[in-house]
């Protein structure tokens, strides 16, 4: 007798198991859900990163105004330093585009950084193109030029034309009494101008606001080195006043000015 044949019987899966077709569909669904969640996460991340200060109305953290200032009052430099030669004395502790720009929040015109190449003070006949960088000495005072004909620029502060006070210092005379480049600085008056040319080809005019003399022990570090960082300013510093028993000047003369034009 022949064996009866018919359609093959489908195997019965073990209890609790799933068929291969069912398993494939489940995996595909899970992968689809994962992909959707991944896309949602990426979109959320991009939206978060694109929450820029402009679109959110938040101006962002302010930029540093300037290098920090060592605290404390000024002291004369060490006798071994050129700045402490008789008749020169020390200077006080330091505080710490090429087109003009103006900020909508009230900040005035200012320029990108550029080293000065010349300075002129017509009212006292000063003109110089000899500049040196001035840093902070171990005793907390600012260094000074090596000769009486050089003008030093505080290298941790703004250059002339940048926001904030640019500090330039020079000797009033030599140890033997020969006049220095800033010998007549105390004769400058409010309304006088200081002209500065820069390496980027710009020519700046600063208008003098005030001139003052301070005891070196009472030097206004905050006002000179930090000042007002909503505009471009200049400070000219030298020694002045009577001399002490070491033949060093008791005071500092400071000229305060602001940027009035740039070409």
Q: Per-residue pLDDT tens for 217-257?
A: 999 999 999 888 889 999 999 999 999 988 899 999 999 99
Q: What is the pLDDT of residue 193?
A: 98
Question: Are 127 and 177 within one domain?
Answer: yes
In a domain, 70, yes or no: no
In a domain, 134, yes or no: yes
- Average pLDDT of 109-117? 92
Question: Are 233 and 120 within one domain?
Answer: yes
The tens digit of pLDDT for each residue in 124-160 reads: 999 999 999 999 988 888 899 999 999 999 999 999 9
In a domain, 135, yes or no: yes
In a domain, 13, yes or no: no
Q: What is the pLDDT of residue 57?
A: 33
Question: Are 46 and 164 within one domain?
Answer: no
Question: Are 125 and 234 within one domain?
Answer: yes
Question: Are 45 and 115 within one domain?
Answer: no
Q: How confident is the model at residue 101 (pLDDT cuts 50, 70, 90)?
A: low
Question: Are 153 and 87 within one domain?
Answer: yes
In a domain, 9, yes or no: no
pLDDT at 167 over 90: yes
Q: What is the pLDDT of residue 141?
A: 83
Question: Are 49 and 120 within one domain?
Answer: no
Higher pLDDT, 244 or 189: 189
Question: Are 129 and 212 within one domain?
Answer: yes
In a domain, 51, yes or no: yes
Higher pLDDT, 152 or 105: 152
Question: Are 47 and 143 within one domain?
Answer: no
Q: What is the pLDDT of residue 102?
A: 56
Q: What is the pLDDT of residue 29?
A: 57
In a domain, 4, yes or no: no
Question: Are 39 and 127 within one domain?
Answer: no
Q: Model's pTM, two decimal places?
A: 0.63
Q: What is the pLDDT of residue 99?
A: 57
| Structural domain count, the chain | 2
pLDDT at 185 over 60: yes
Question: Are 43 and 143 within one domain?
Answer: no
The tens digit of pLDDT for each residue in 9-64 reads: 334 344 444 444 444 555 455 555 555 444 444 334 333 332 333 223 332 222 22
Q: What is the pLDDT of residue 229?
A: 85
In a domain, 8, yes or no: no
Residue 27 belongs to domain spanning: 21-58
Point out which residues pair with 166 in neighbouring strands.
234
CATH number (domain holding residue 137): 2.40.260.10
Question: Are 54 and 162 within one domain?
Answer: no
């Amino acid at each position: 007798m022949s064996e009866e044949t018919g359609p093959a019987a489908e195997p019965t899966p073990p209890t609790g198991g799933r068929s291969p077709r069912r398993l494939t569909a489940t995996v595909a669904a899970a992968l689809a859900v994962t992909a959707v969640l991944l896309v949602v996460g990426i979109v959320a991340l991009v939206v978060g990163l694109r929450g820029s200060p402009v679109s959110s109305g938040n101006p962002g953290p302010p930029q540093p105004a300037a290098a920090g200032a060592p605290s404390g009052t000024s002291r004369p430099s060490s006798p071994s330093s050129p700045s402490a030669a008789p008749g020169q004395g020390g200077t006080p502790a330091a505080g710490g585009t090429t087109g003009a720009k103006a900020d909508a929040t009230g900040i005035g015109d200012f320029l990108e950084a550029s080293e000065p190449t010349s300075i002129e003070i017509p009212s006292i006949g000063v003109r110089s193109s000899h500049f040196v960088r001035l840093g902070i000495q171990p005793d907390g005072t600012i260094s000074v030029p090596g000769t009486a004909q050089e003008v030093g620029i505080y290298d941790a502060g703004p250059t002339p034309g940048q926001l904030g006070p640019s500090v330039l210092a020079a000797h009033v005379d030599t140890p033997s009494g020969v006049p220095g480049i800033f010998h007549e600085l105390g004769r400058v008056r409010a309304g006088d101008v200081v002209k500065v040319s820069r390496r980027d080809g710009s020519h700046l005019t600063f208008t003098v606001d005030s001139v003052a003399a301070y005891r070196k022990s009472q030097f206004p570090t905050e006002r000179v080195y930090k000042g007002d960082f909503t505009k471009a300013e200049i400070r000219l510093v030298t020694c002045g006043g009577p001399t002490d028993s070491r033949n060093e000047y008791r005071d500092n003369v400071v000229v305060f000015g602001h940027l009035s034009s740039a070409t």
